[in-house]
Structure 1
Amino acid sequence: MSGILDSVNLRTQMVGQNRMELLLFGLETDQRFGINVFKVREVLQCPDLTEVPRQTSAIKGMAHIRGETIPVLDLSEAVGRDPVPKEERVRCFLIVVEYNRRILAFLVRRVDRILNTQWDQINAPPAEIGVENYLTAILEYEGKLIEIIDVEQILADLYPTSTEVSHEVADAGVRKQAEEHQVLIVDDSSVARNQMRRSLEGLGLKVTSANNGRIAWGLLEGLLSKGMDPNEVFLMVISDIEMPEMDGYTLTSMIREDERTRDLHVVLHTSLSGGFNVSMVKKVGANGFLAKFDPNELAEVVVRRIRQVEGGS
């Protein structure tokens, strides 16, 4: 276990090349779950928790970790499973994560290992299971399925986020110009796609979405096969970085390597933190980087692009 705990910070330095590493953990059954190591700040034995008034029973209290007070979420209960009994928490672990500029800790039964894999080995959940679940992807490993939890769905349920864009960011003139443009958004999280769609459509933009980089690239190739210029169809591409089958870095690289698409304006967004994201954005040739999700920051990026295309300031 000490090897896993010591290696998390070192492993988060790996990025790009469609690679990822999963921290595997367990809840109340033998089923294995995974979380992207890039999202993990620390793993530790569950300390004593300070109980606080709360709106949801899944928040079990606050942990005091390295000078910070961090809310602790029982991940089992958050996804509709049996909660960890209070007397058993001492044998459990906290996975401290940072998503969308929010730090919290997941209470889990066990932490198994770190698995090095490729995004193209990770698949979207079968459509037959429907959309009312907390899975964003699955991976077959050692003859069994590893379920990758959609943390953004969990956070959206706990902390609902407004998608309305301020009129100070986009005035009536910009909104009128926006009606002439279409944006391609790429994200494996249905929550993230819906948040961005509502914000962008609220500006007047037309929105096309894709669940991952492979689907987005196929969409662009489909336009090219019909003799259409993606640069004329889309104002810009806004893509998540961490996605199954093809990540955002790889998608951006493919766009830049094809002379027919290399001029597409691409902005990468992510719930991850750290300066390595910015350096990789430059390396693959993206035009910008956006920490998700804030409707006004998203709108500012789009408004700048509209004004650039329309010849404004």
Structure 2
Amino acid sequence: MAIGRPMFQVGSNIFELIEFTATKTSVVPTSDRKTPILYGVNVAKVREVIRLPIIVPCLTNAPEVLGVFNLRGAPIPAIHLAKALGYDDEPVTPSSQVIVTEFSSRKAGFVVAGTRRIRRVSWDKVLPPSSDAFNTITGMMLIENQDFIFILDFERILLDIESRSGGQGTSAYAIEGASQSGASAPNQGGSLGGASAPAASKRPLILVVDDSPTARRAICELLRGMQLDIIEYTNAEAAWKDLSTAEEGSDLSKVQLIVSDVEMPKLDGYSFVKRIRGNEKLKKMPIILHSSLTGDVNKDRAKQAGADAYVGKLNRKEIVEALKAALPPTWTGAS
């Protein structure tokens, strides 16, 4: 199954996801009941869904990595997704399918029992995870029959696997040149972060919006290492509410540039940009969208929304170039 270009309007706060299930054995000791759990992944990260190919085993320290397969001349790692989620009892059978993904300039094939449908949903129906314990989930939503569908963080799953197999792993989020002093966490609810700029500071003040704690911490460390002050938000809806109502003289009224993720519960990055461009007070604010979603389609969507730049997630070179283009010439922190 090939995945086509999204047809919905940029800024509609709509996205599409592919539904699939993973089967978990009951945690009750006296029961061996197996429960299918409904999951989803953003279609924007999916190149295609294919039948189970011939998988060649390879030496790895990660048991969920089944091996590699050939897709039109390119070797793709095959990952048993149920096993990566801790569900060891779901078998791989000839009827299994592979969700071939591409994000952060990397390709991977996630083996699942089968896909169900493509669902079009609004980000405002997606709730953020209720706890950091759900570290492989970016959001959840209530659907028909009072069921939940959980949107998986495929980037986090892949990074964890790479870390355990001796690859790049979570170090992908430790950008070369970033400050290692540590970033202050935002307040609960995703409002003004503890790293806001002092009133007397002459350094540019940047608003960073990202729902991933790991990615947000890394981008903030990078920006601080460039002599930039930071205000952090965990979601664009809260950032928009506070930014659009900020009083003159407040820290938020001094923001000179926004760096925002694209995929976020409640309000996505494209819709966030559209709202800012429609606000008379904020419409000239420079905005850099910062995402693991790759390809010209996503760059085109960012341009349509009104973003000044679209950069790869934690790509230092692209971020620095975008900052140089957007910030005043007097800023020299990127040199």
Same fold (TM over 0.5): yes
Q: 1:194 and 2:194 equivalent? A: no
| 1:80 aligned counterpart, secondary structure | coil
Q: How many Å apart are 1:304 and its aligned residue?
A: 3.9
Distance, in Å, in 2 between the alignment partners of 1:291 and 1:179 is 28
Distance, in Å, in 1 between the alignment partners of 2:5 and 2:276 is: 28
Q: Give the Å deviation of 1:58.
A: 1.9
CA distance in 1, matches of 2:229, 2:87: 39
Residue of structure 2 aligned with 1:20, choices 15, 20, 29: 15
**What secondary structure, in the 3-state scheme, does the structure 2 residue paired with 1:90 have?**
coil
User: What is the aligned counterpart of 2:158 among 155, 158, 176?
Assistant: 155
Contact 1:59 1:73 in 2 (8 A): yes
Q: What is the match of residue 104 of structure 2?
A: 100
Aligned equivalent of 2:4: 10
> Is 1:144 matched with 2:147?
yes
Instruction: State whether residues 175 and 218 of structure 2, in contact with CA within 8 Å, keep that contact through their aligned partners in structure 1.
Output: no
Partner AA of 1:81 in structure 2? Y
SS in 2 for 1:91: coil
Match of 2:283 among 234, 246, 262: 262
301-310 or 147-156: which moved more? 301-310
> 2:265 corresponds to which letter in structure 1?
P
Residue of structure 1 in register with 2:58 after alignment: 52
Counterpart contact for 1:220–1:230, Cα < 8 Å: no
Partner AA of 1:221 in structure 2: S
Deviations along 1:112-145, one digit per CA (max 9) or x if unpaired, are 111111111111122xx33452111001111111
Report the equivalent of 1:170: none
For residues 159 and 206 of structure 2, what CA distance do their matches in structure 1 show?
23
**Mapping 1:147-296, distance limit 5 Å:** 147-157=150-160, 158=162, 159-160=169-170, 161=172, 163-166=174-177, 180-222=203-245, 224=246, 226-228=247-249, 233-296=254-317
Q: Secondary structure at the match of 1:302?
A: helix
Number of corresponding residues = 291
Distance in 2 between the 1:112 and 1:139 partners?
17
Paired with 1:116 and 1:162, the residues of 2 have a C-alpha distance of: 30
| 2:79 matches 1:73 | yes
Query: Which residue of 133, 136, 140 maps to 1:134?
Result: 136
Deviation at 1:21, TM superposition (A): 0.7
**Which runs of 4 or more aligned residues in structure 1 lie more than 6 Å from their structure 2 counterparts after TM superposition?**
none
Q: Which residues of structure 1 form unaligned runs of 5+? A: 168-177
Cα distance change on mapping 1:228 and 1:155 into 2, 3 Å:
farther
In the superposition, the TM-score normalised over structure 2's length comes to 0.79
TM-score normalised according to structure 1 size? 0.84
Gaps of 5+ in 2: 24-34, 163-168, 179-200
Any conservation in 2 of the 1:252–1:285 contact (CA below 8 Å)? yes
Question: Which AA in structure 1 matches 2:86?
Answer: G
Q: Which residue of 2 is the match for residue 43 of structure 1?
A: 49
1:162·1:295 contact (CA, 8 Å) conserved in 2?
A: no
Contact 1:253-1:284 at 8 Å conserved across structures: yes
| SS of aligned partner of 2:60 | coil
Closer, same or farther in 2 for the Cα pair 1:35/1:117, shift >3 Å? same
Q: Are the aligned partners of 2:257 and 2:327 in contact in 1 as well (CA < 8 Å)? A: no
Quick one: structure 1 residues 227 and 45, their matched pair in 2 at CA, closer, same or farther if it must change by over 3 Å?
same
Partner of 2:166: none
Structure-2 change in CA distance of 1:12 and 1:83 (3 Å): farther
1:277 deviation in Å?
A: 2.0
Are residue 33 (structure 1) and residue 27 (structure 2) matched?
no
1:295, CA displacement in angstroms?
Answer: 2.8
Q: Identity rate of aligned residues, in percent? A: 29
CA deviation after TM superposition for structure 1 residue 155, in Å:
2.7
**Per the alignment, in what secondary structure is the counterpart of residue 10 of structure 1?**
coil
- Distance, in Å, in 1 between the alignment partners of 2:218 and 2:38 is 29
Give distance in 2, aligned partners of 1:199 and 1:229: 24
Q: CA deviation at 1:200?
A: 1.6
Q: Is the Cα–Cα contact under 8 Å of residues 205 and 256 in structure 2 kept in the other structure?
A: yes
In 2, Cα distance between equivalents of 1:34 and 1:111: 9
Distance 1:302 1:311 in 2: 10
- Cα distance in 2 for residues equivalent to 1:235 and 1:229: 13
